[in-house]
Structure 1
Amino acid sequence: MGARLPLAHQGIGGDCCGRAGAAPRQHRAPARRDRTKGRRPVVSDLAQDEAFARIRLLRSPNVGPVTYAQLLRRFGTADVALDALPDLARRGGQAYRAADARRIEDEIAAVRRAGARYLFHDSPDYPSLLREIEGSPPILTVRGDGSLAALPSIAIVGARNASAAAVKLARDFAAVLAEAGFVVVSGLARGIDGAAHRGALPATVGVIASGIDIAYPPEHADLQEQIASQGLLLAEQPPGTEPLARHFPSRNRIIAGMAVGTLVVEAAPKSGSLITARLAGEAGREVMAIPGSPLDPRSHGCNQ
């Protein structure tokens, strides 16, 4: 990928990636302009050029988590995979162009402005249980206390339009779990999610369907910032990404994948909460539910 300054100078290592004071690397002869000059994405233990290439590979057309993993296994590094993609496409009779490098520079700058950092699939700080699920996110963007991802966690999910009783239950359960040494994972949605986060703070992980710099829902902007400063905020989507309907099932798989078990507090039969519960069961994790009134549609999913 061309020349790179030493990690400590370039800011893709050092205090931004949890390796402050890392020994500087030797300079290499310049071949292309430095695509990460002046940027500080947190990139765990990777060299800057490989980190940049991995971000670019994942943002390239038709490259999702599964294809990304296959390409890395086949070619060894993202840089080599990027060089191989046009030829692979030509063999299939198609033209191909990887994500523009300037777009990746802009993304890295946005991550830096948000006070966030990148977390790669093979980083020791990557949530170990999440790594086990099929199609786990190759790259996460995070803000906050990364050590929380290594602690045992329980996901608490449920209805957005939850009853007052269910909101209290979620908050109380989250507080008890936090006191017992668990981290509570949820999705920062209205209702049960917000109650669970508030009950567990600071021992909570918020998984959002937007970019790390987007507050959603807007009324949870203060809660999201509180989680980022006291707990851990986590996003799969690039910064600047607004939450779209297709992003929420992806967020749900992260919530289920991070936790040893998922607790559902009020959920309709067709709801995102039950999608999270199903994903948890498919991953071999515990699935729990708090039963409710058979007369309340918000409890029908839990009563199944």
Structure 2
Amino acid sequence: MESPLSQQEAFARIRLLRSPDIGPITYMQLLARFGDARAALDALPDLAGRAGRPYEAAAEQRVQAEIAATRKAGARYLFHDSPDYPDLLAHCEGAPPILTFRGDLAILARPAVAIVGARNASAAAVRLAREFAHGLASAGFAVVSGLARGIDGAAHTGALAGGATIGVIASGIDTAYPPEHAALQERVASEGLLLAEQPPGTEPLARHFPTRNRIIAGLAAGTLVVEAAPKSGSLITARLAGEIGREVMAVPGSPLDPRSHGCNQLIRDGAVLAQSVEDVIELLSGFDGVPGSRFQTEGKAAEPQAPLEESAEITIAHLLTTAPIAVDELIRQSGTNAPSVQMALLELEIGGRLVRHAGGRVSLA
């Protein structure tokens, strides 16, 4: 693994993230609280014990096998505090603390635009996605997409012909999905950049696609939806982009085609209507973190978290139910300082009693 970290700390970080009930937010809070992953691992049994259950971190043999599989796939690890970690993604709530990658990390330094859309896209939309991607890549943008059928595949193909592309997959770095995109995924890895959050050998399960979508949205200054039906995964990506303060664009389509209804609805909701590559370049060229589009949801980009401070143990479980509530509201109702509440939530999560939701909300498991 090429990393400024020591081998021991890098190993401990992978082990920490693969341990039960440790998600990205909990992982970052543990590092902030204990200083490094080795100390955090040592503290896990005591933290879980306060929540009333025994705890075992991920087995060292499992992590050793994962690292061997990563190397065998020709991949490497990218940690959240590496200078190569993309800045826009780093400022997203729940950003993946560890990614595996194949390809050229220098692509992450380019301005990026996500292009997403329907898997069962029309021939016209596929051609349009390919042309948009080619034009944007030729203009110096890295085109980000998810290597799915339809619009995603067309976006990667067009970008490879014009410049750089980044593929984000919902499986392990060594697994191609869909199978017919195996050759395209290999091209992205060898000529562009391929990213995966899941460990090697992981199949692309349904629950992995929302996290894949948040990475796509988080990497890019803006997301362009070329064709999408209502309630599709592409619209989820667009709304995630809106939540974190990025530009949202959509290509209008015929009201007679259900595959255009999602894009037309996005435009009604304030997304920028995009009819040409020039429209996208004009919108994103001056992006400074404040979107010009009117498409916004109630969410907002997460602020970097301050390190947790030593505090007395508190019990806030009685304030929680299975209905999600904002952490800020818990702090207000408990009358306790934020670091103490965060520590209590950390103990509950490691104890398997807490679930984290989008928008900084939590609930009992």
TM range (shorter): 0.7 to 0.9
- Pairing 1:160–2:123 present: no
Q: Which residue type is aligned with residue 25 of structure 2?
A: V
- Pairing 1:235–2:196 present: yes
Q: Which residue of 1 aligns with 2:305?
A: none
1:133-212 correspondence to structure 2 within 5 Å: 133-201=92-160, 202-212=163-173
Task: Tell me how far 1:93 sits from its aligned partner.
Answer: 1.3
String of CA shifts for 1:109-159, please: whole Å, max 9, x gaps: 000000000000000111111001000000000000110011100000000
The partner residue of 1:83 within 33, 42, 49 is: 42
Distance 2:206 2:108 in 1: 26
Q: Which residue of 2 aligns with 1:300?
A: 261
Instruction: Give 3-state SS (helix, strand or coil) of 1:199's partner.
Output: helix
Show structure 1 runs of 4+ deviating over 4 A.
Answer: none
Query: What value does the CA root-mean-square deviation take over the aligned residues?
Result: 0.6
- Pairing 1:70–2:45 present: no
Q: Which deviates more from structure 2 when the two are superposed, residues 56-65 or residues 193-202?
A: 193-202
String of CA shifts for 1:209-256, please: whole Å, max 9, x gaps: 000000000000000000100000000000000000000000000000
Distance 1:247 1:92 in 2: 28
Distance 1:83 1:45 in 2: 22
Distance 2:47 2:241 in 1: 36
Q: Which residue of 2 aligns with 1:106?
A: 65
Q: Which residue of 2 aligns with 1:37?
A: none
Higher relative contact order (CA 8 A, sep 6+): 2
1:37-48 correspondence to structure 2 within 5 Å: 44-48=3-7
Distance 2:50 2:118 in 1: 48
String of CA shifts for 1:152-192, please: whole Å, max 9, x gaps: 00000000000000000000000000111000000000000
The partner residue of 2:80 within 121, 133, 141 is: 121
Task: Tell me how far 1:73 sits from its aligned partner.
Answer: 0.5
Q: Which residue type is aligned with residue 71 of structure 2?
A: R
Task: Tell me how far 1:71 sits from its aligned partner.
Answer: 0.3
The partner residue of 1:245 within 206, 226, 230 is: 206
String of CA shifts for 1:188-207, please: whole Å, max 9, x gaps: 00000000000001500000
Q: Which residue of 1 aligns with 2:346?
A: none
Where does structure 1 lack aligned partners over 5 or more consecutive residues? 1-11, 18-43
String of CA shifts for 1:5-44, please: whole Å, max 9, x gaps: xxxxxxx3xxxx2xxxxxxxxxxxxxxxxxxxxxxxxxx2
Distance 1:247 1:132 in 2: 21
Instruction: Give 3-state SS (helix, strand or coil) of 1:206's partner.
Output: strand
Distance 2:81 2:109 in 1: 14
Q: Which residue of 2 aligns with 1:223?
A: 184
Give the structure-1-normalised TM-score.
0.86
User: Aligned pair count?
Assistant: 263
Instruction: Give 3-state SS (helix, strand or coil) of 1:53's partner.
Output: helix
Distance 1:168 1:93 in 2: 57
Instruction: Give 3-state SS (helix, strand or coil) of 1:68's partner.
Output: helix
Distance 1:297 1:291 in 2: 12
Instruction: Give 3-state SS (helix, strand or coil) of 2:143's partner.
Output: strand
Seq. identity, %: 78
Task: Tell me how far 1:293 sits from its aligned partner.
Answer: 0.6
Give the structure-2-normalised TM-score.
0.72
Where does structure 2 lack aligned partners over 5 or more consecutive residues? 266-365
Q: Which residue type is aligned with residue 268 of structure 1?
A: A
Q: Which residue of 2 aligns with 1:59?
A: 18
